[in-house]
A and B are shown apart, each in its own frame.
Chain A
Amino acid sequence: MPWLTTLVRVVQVITAIVTASFVILLFANEPPEATPVPSAAADSGQAIFETRCARCHGTDGSGGFGPALAGVVVEAFPDAADQEAVVANGRGSMPAFADSLTPEQIAAVVEYTRTGLG
C-alpha cells in the first residue's frame, strides 16, 4: 500500500514541522508585561478588568483562555459573593487574586463584569 506509506511520511513531516514551531514559540513568543493598575484608578472595576482579567477572558469579556463572562456571568453566579469568592481564591486554572487585589477591588471588578460587559 504505497499510498498509505506516503500518507504516513507526509503526516510525520507535518508533525515534525508543527513540533519545531511550537518549540520555537515556547521561547520566542513572550507576552507583553502586565500593566499595573494605576493607583488613581485602583478602585475602578473596568481598569482592574482590563489589566488583570482581559488577558484571559478577553477585553470585551467574550472569552479567550478563560471562559466568556459577558452576558453569562450573572446566570452562572446569581449571588455576586460566589463570584467574588472565585476571583479571590481562584478555581481550576484561574489564579487567586486575594493577595494582589483588595476585597473592595474584587467587588468592583466583579460588579463590572456583571453590569459593564453587557
Chain B
Amino acid sequence: MDAGTALDTERAPGGAPTGVVALLGAALIGAAIAVALGVYGREHDPAGQALFTLGFSGTINMKAWLATIALALAVVQILLALWLYGKIGRNAPIWVGPTHRLVGTLTFLVTLPVAYHCLWSLGFETDASNARRFWHSLFGCAFYGAFATKVLCVRAKGLPGWALPVIGGLVFSLLVGLWFTSAFWFFDNSGFPSF
C-alpha cells in the first residue's frame, strides 16, 4: 500500500483522522507540561540562589545572554525551516533537515539553565500588576509546552499540513516574548553587553 494513501485514509477508532488525534494528543501533553511548570513555579519556595553562573558576573547576566543566544539560534531555525518548506532559495540541500534538528536541539539546550534558575530561584509571578514578570512567567511555561507539542508532532504521521509551521511559529513567538520580557529588559536597564 502506498504510504501517502495510507496516511490520508488512516482513521482512529472514533472516526477522526489519526493526524488530528495525534495533534490533539500532543497539544494536551504540551498543555500539561506548561501547567506543571507553572504549578511548580507557584508552589516551590524560591531559592534565590544561583547554581552556577558559567563565568558571567551574575546569574541574571548569564540568563540574559543565554536567552539571547537561544533567540539567535531560533532565528537560524526559522530560516532553515523556511528553506525546508521551499519558501526561500531553491530545493533545500540534504544537510538542511539534520541541521534544522541540530539547531532546534541546541536552542532547547541553551534555554535549560535559564528555565532552571527562573523556576528554582525566582518562581512564577502571579501578580498581574507586575506585567513584565507576569507575562514572562506565562511565556516561559507556554514555551516549553509548545516545544513539547512541536517535538511530538514532528514524530507524528498524517498531521494537517499547517500544523508544524503553526506550532513552530508559536514556539518562536513565545521565545521572542520571553526575550523581550527578560534579556531586552535587562540590557535596557543594565546596559549592553553587561557580561
Chain A contacts to B: CB under 8 angstroms = 1, 4-5, 7-8, 11-12, 14-15, 18-19, 22, 25-26, 29-31, 55-56, 63-68, 92-93, 95
Contact = CB atoms under 8 A, between A and B. Distances in A.
Given A31-B49, A55-B49, A65 B58 contact: yes
B192 interface: no
Given A4-B95, A18-B112, A92-B189, A63 B48 contact: no
A13 B160 CA distance: 29
User: Taking chain B's interface residues, is the majority helix, strand, or loop, or is none over half, making it mixed?
Assistant: helix
Nearest to B57: A63
A70 B59 CA distance: 17
A1 B94 contact: yes
**What band does the interface of chain B fall in when counting residues whose beta carbon is under 8 Å from A?**
35 or more
Contacts of B185: 92
A112 B97 CA distance: 57
A14 B91 CA distance: 31
Given A65-B49, A65-B59, A8 B98 contact: yes
Given A5-B98, A19-B112, 14 more contacts: A1-B94, A4-B95, A7-B98, A11-B105, A14-B109, A15-B109, A22-B112, A26-B116, A29-B120, A30-B47, A31-B48, A56-B49, A65-B117, A67-B58
